[in-house]
Amino acid sequence: MFTNFPFFPQQASEQAAQVDAVYFFLVAVSAFFAALIAIFLAVFAAKFHRTHHDQVGDAIHGSIALELLWTIIPLGITMIMFVWGAQLFFHLTRAPKGAMEIYVVGKQWMWKAQHMDGAREINELHVPVGRPVKLIMGSEDVIHSFFIPDFRVKADVIPGRYNTMWFTASKPGRYHIFCTQYCGTKHSAMIGWVTAMGAADYETWLGGGARTGTMADAGAQLFQSLTCNTCHLETGQGRGPVLKGAYGKPVELEGGGTVVMDDAYLRESILMPTAKVVRGFQPIMPPFQGLVTEEQLLQLIAYVKSLGAQGPTPPGQPATQTPAGQPSAPPATPTPKQPGSGN
């Protein structure tokens, strides 16, 4: 009846073994202390079992030495857990520079992914093995959470902001995606598959399928159709600030302060332009809250990003802009990974 009886999830990312190491340490500590208590209870219960009706126990009031011992030892062990867990958390939540970026939008009840080159998927995510992948995630409605158990990574996907997560798949194969933040009727159907492929297979996959253009192309079109281009002129003569080359750089704000032009700032400035106005400009841009979808937002951001990448100091994700089939970006060099060898 149960042919499939796993005891432990696969280790399919470079992070998985690191998480499991902490897990095994905690299992070992827990097993030790649980066994210790159980043995003491059993031995004491048997050895000191009441033998006659009026028997009473010894009046022992306590021992400072013992209290200190069983305060300090557990404290020391838990501090090891704390430091190890915190280090791991930093590692798991900070994507390395140059990670390949994929945008993910969660909505009731599906996952939509957009690759930089314009490829789109629903409830599927194709990634290359051996290369860090960073997911930039937003939600169109309620809170979701993106979980790949075999990679040991998870992050909530929250409306109104972007959360990120990253991983490096280490083994070709197909792995579960689960939504882990309860989101309504079909929460348990908001699932999908990650397909990790060898680099060569991945390039082939990217090359296939109908494509209307990159995300940045789509964003450029929106930039025209929403008439953003009438104010955000490249000449610097427009009523809005110049966007070319601005991504990733600090922006001086009206009323003091600066903010780095990142995804979150762009998002906020499109939806609620008056929140943080660039110095020297009037707050005349209309809010686009409710007028653009999450996916369109991401396309607009990708477009602004692509303008930034052409600026004097590219902010470090050029790899993702490589056209399919042009393996010029160093990490994507197709090392001959046997297709399907991991299945």
Subset of 157-216 contacting other proteins (CB under 8 A)? 158-161, 163, 176, 178-189, 191
Q: Amino acid identity of 10?
A: Q
DSSP string, 240-298: S---TTTTTSEEEBTTS-EEE--HHHHHHHHH-TTSSPBTT--S-PPP-TTTS-HHHHH
DSSP string, 161-193: S-EEEEEEB-S-EEEEEEE-S--STTGGG-EEE
If the CB atoms of residues 89 and 328 are measured against other proteins, the closer one turns out to be 89
If the CB atoms of residues 139 and 214 are measured against other proteins, the closer one turns out to be 139
- Which of these ranges, 86-94, 214-222, 233-241, 326-334, lies near other proteins under the rule CB under 8 A? 86-94
d(C-alpha 47, C-alpha 37), whole Å = 15
Q: Please state the closest distance from residue 339 (CB atom) to other proteins, in A.
A: 25
- Which of these ranges, 15-23, 112-120, 212-220, 244-252, lies near other proteins under the rule CB under 8 A? 15-23
Listed residue (132, 162, 170, 129) closest to 146, CA to CA: 162
CB 12 within 8 A of CB 170: yes
Listed residue (312, 293, 298) closest to 248, CA to CA: 312
Among 11, 110, 131, 142, binds other proteins (CB under 8 A): 142
Q: Please state the closest distance from residue 77 (CB atom) to other proteins, in A.
A: 9
Binding residues for other proteins restricted to 285-314, rule: CB under 8 A: 289-290
If the CB atoms of residues 106 and 198 are measured against other proteins, the closer one turns out to be 106
The H or E element containing residue 320 is none
If the CB atoms of residues 149 and 238 are measured against other proteins, the closer one turns out to be 149
Tokens describing residue 214? 């990159």
CB 161 within 8 A of CB 137: no
If the CB atoms of residues 179 and 324 are measured against other proteins, the closer one turns out to be 179
Residue 206, class by beta-carbon neighbours within 10 Å (0-12 exposed, 13-18 middle, 19+ buried)? Answer: buried
Among 120, 124, 149, 245, binds other proteins (CB under 8 A): 149
If the CB atoms of residues 93 and 338 are measured against other proteins, the closer one turns out to be 93
Residue 83 CA, distance from chain mean position: 22
Binding residues for other proteins restricted to 26-85, rule: CB under 8 A: 26, 29-30, 33-34, 37-38, 40-41, 44-45, 48-50, 53-64, 66-67, 70-71, 74-75, 78-79, 81-82, 84-85
Tell me the three state secondary structure of residue 211: coil
Tokens describing residue 117? 């080159």
Residue that is written with structure tokens 């169109």 in the block: 140
Q: Please state the closest distance from residue 248 (CB atom) to other proteins, in A.
A: 20
Binding residues for other proteins restricted to 314-333, rule: CB under 8 A: none
If the CB atoms of residues 83 and 122 are measured against other proteins, the closer one turns out to be 83
Listed residue (103, 177, 94) closest to 135, CA to CA: 103
Q: Please state the closest distance from residue 90 (CB atom) to other proteins, in A.
A: 7
Count of residues interacting with other proteins (CB under 8 A): 91
Q: Please state the closest distance from residue 94 (CB atom) to other proteins, in A.
A: 9
Among 14, 88, 217, 254, binds other proteins (CB under 8 A): 88
If the CB atoms of residues 94 and 239 are measured against other proteins, the closer one turns out to be 94
d(C-alpha 177, C-alpha 198), whole Å = 19
- Which of these ranges, 24-32, 213-221, 300-308, 329-337, lies near other proteins under the rule CB under 8 A? 24-32
Among 105, 127, 133, 153, binds other proteins (CB under 8 A): 153
Greatest Cα pair distance, the chain, in angstroms, is 99
Tokens describing residue 12? 């399919």
Among 101, 120, 131, 147, binds other proteins (CB under 8 A): 147
- Which of these ranges, 110-118, 141-149, 200-208, 243-251, lies near other proteins under the rule CB under 8 A? 141-149
